[in-house]
Amino acid sequence: MALTKIVGIETEYGIMVRGAADFDPVASSTLVVNSYKDNDLRSIMWDYGQENPLLDARGFQSEPNAPSPDEESNAVINDILTNGGRYYVDHAHPEYCTPECTNARDAVIYDKAGELILDMSSRIAEQTLDGKREIIIYKNNSDGKGHSYGCHENYLVDRSVAFQTLVDGMTPYLVTRQIFTGAGKVGAENGAESCDFQISQRADFFETEVGLSTMVDRPIINTRDEPHADEKQYRRFHVIVGDANMAEMSSYLKIGTAILMLQMIEDGIIGNQFRLRDPVAAIKSISRDLTCKRTIKLSDGSERSPIELQRVYQRLAAQYVEDRKSDNAYYEIDADVVKKWGETLDKLDEDPMQLNKELDWVIKYTWLKAYRARHEIEWRDHRIAMLGLQYHDIRANVGVFYRLQKAGHVRRVVSQEAIIHAISNPPLDTRAYFRGTCLKQFASEIHAASWNSLIFDVEGKSLQKVPMQYPLRGTREMVGDMIKQCKSAADLLAAIEAKPDNSE
């Protein structure tokens, strides 16, 4: 039977400082990340001993391990959050990772909480500047000049499912799902065919079908196999092909449908029903078809539109969710995802522009088009480029998306209260609960953290590592009372030793 899906979203944000002649993206990102004050966790380090991003899902390691940062810079560029997530500097971008979630609703809530964390820390960082400079953070995936930064989804899947089965099952889905997950983009990039506006931010950057790289020669299916969990049981499915979303509906469908697809693959319901003749060409041509009805070629010679392919998956999912209703703790959310997925496909089929309050690319297209008509300007006009960028500005008063949402022109999926709560409270039903709660309660006694361990530094003792190899343990139900009763990390370690199954 399919595993409960553990999901996390990692987002690299674009950064710019207005009014700085000597803008340095690394220094600026460091300033922003460092400005965030979350329960005085500043000195806690990230445990790089657990990281190996070069492990390939196809079963080999491609290059020697990259060196980890030294102790001082480690603490400066890393922030472990009380919501169980991680906030750090990756290359030249601030990056936020949600804590481990079990469902699409939580994933959206924690992803949105990340925007607020970025926004708060940028405003604090700005105060340390001279008052003339402005820090601007964009939740998008491209600078419009051929440089892309990612929004990656991570799903834990059953190790016993062959990687090729995942490739076969997921490729046609990932290539076509942009019709509801795309964040919209003005123009083309990376040498791809020119266009005024396209559905996806990322499509132009994909050059190959399967591979390990995320920075050059990007693959539709990425093979980074780093589960941060018991690797005998779990494999990581690392999706790099998605756009960062502003609209909650796009984000909710992105995660919710991927969870169902992976579970249907694990249960043998989705195999290689469809094989695309040229996935790399298809991802770009679909991105350029705002009707979503132009067909792509399958390797058996037939042709299907992206709506038709998604419709097949949606119908299979509808049946699948009902069939396992009795033993699915996430039935309510799964059923809601299937319903919204179906409604979205119906509307895309009738007229995609009906979704101008739901889907990122349609919202953006609608308003840029209206602006263009009002001023009688070309798609290539710098004002359109600016608004295309400003759609992703995370500031509530300046960002175009947020102004539209405030004016009631965007349909929401989750509540603002839930997002605010998620800034500093972990999900209850994964090991993120243990991590976040320990960080809140015993911050001064934690030396380092990683996805699958916490290292405690209790006075008079050597460092003690608590492994967390199982993402569905360490939940509130399992360890909530135990942590509450402990006055110190020493108490907690003693309690864990007496009852080792609870957190590990």
Partner 1 sequence: MPSSERKQTQKDDARKDSAEQEVNRDVVEEGAALKDDIDSLLDEIDELLEEDSEEFVENYIQRGGE
Alpha helices (runs of H) in 296-381, residue ranges in sequence order: 306-323, 331-350, 360-375
Q: Is 243 a catalytic residue?
A: no
Of the residues 284, 364, 403, 473, which one makes contact with partner 1 according to CB under 8 A: 403
Min. distance of Cβ 386 from partner 1 in angstroms?
4
The interface region with partner 1, picked from 88-96, 103-111, 192-200, 257-265 by CB under 8 A, is 88-96
CA–CA–CA angle 253, 258, 264 (5° rounding): 130
Q: What is the 3-state secondary structure (H, E, C) of 95-129?
A: EEECCCECCHHHHHHHHHHHHHHHHHHHHHHHHCC
Instruction: Judge whether 79 and 88 are in contact, CB under 8 Å.
Output: yes
95 lies in the site for partner 1, by CB under 8 A? yes
Count CA atoms within 13 Å of residue 126 on its CB side: 18
Task: Select from 313, 330, 367, 434 the one that contacts partner 1 (CB under 8 A).
Answer: 367
Residue 380 binds partner 1, judged by CB under 8 A: no
Answer yes or no whether residue 1 interacts with partner 1 by CB under 8 A: no
Q: Which of 326, 327, 341 is nearest to 261 (CA)?
A: 341
Q: What tokens does 165 get? A: 């089965």
- Neighbouring residues of 114: CB distance < 8 A, sequence distance ≥ 6: 11, 85, 87, 96, 98
Taking the complex as a whole, how short is the minimal distance between the CB of residue 95 and partner 1, in angstroms? 8
Site for partner 1 in 3-42 (CB under 8 A): 12, 14-16, 18, 25
* Residues 11 and 90 sit within 8 Å (Cβ to Cβ): no
Among 383, 421, 484, 499, binds partner 1 (CB under 8 A): 383
Which of 281, 387, 420, 472 is the binder for partner 1 (CB under 8 A)? 387
User: Which residues ranging from 203 to 222 are in contact with partner 1 (CB under 8 A)?
Assistant: 214-215
Query: E strand or H helix at 207, and its extent?
Result: strand 206-211
By CB under 8 A, which span of 100-108, 302-310, 399-407, 461-469 interacts with partner 1?
399-407
* Residue among 24, 47, 79, 90 flagged as catalytic: 90
Please tell me the distance from the alpha carbon of residue 336 to that of residue 347, in angstroms, as a whole number: 17
* 480 interacts with partner 1 by CB under 8 A: no
Q: Which of residues 225-264 bind partner 1 (CB under 8 A)?
A: 240
- Piece of 139-147, 300-308, 318-326, 342-350 that binds partner 1 (CB under 8 A): 139-147
Q: Is 148 in the site for partner 1 (CB under 8 A)?
A: yes
In terms of CB distance, is 226 or 289 closer to partner 1?
A: 226
Beta carbon nearer to partner 1, 223 or 503? 223
- 449 within 8 A of 458, measured Cβ to Cβ: no
Q: Which stretch binds partner 1 (CB under 8 A): 103-111, 169-177, 312-320, 365-373?
A: 365-373
Sign of CA dihedral 273, 278, 279, 283: negative
Q: Quick one: which of 54, 335, 353, 385 contacts partner 1 (CB under 8 A)?
A: 385
**Whose CA is closest to 206, among 186, 221, 193?**
221
Which residue number, 15 or 296, has a Cβ lying nearer to partner 1? 15
Give the H/E segment covering residue 286.
Answer: helix 279-287
Asked whether 25 and 122 are in contact (CB, 8 A), the reply is no
Q: Which residue ranges make up the site for partner 1 (CB under 8 A)? A: 12, 14-16, 18, 25, 90-93, 95, 143-145, 147-150, 152, 214-215, 240, 367, 370-371, 374, 382-383, 385-387, 389-390, 398, 400, 403-404, 407, 409
Which residues form the catalytic set? Answer: 90
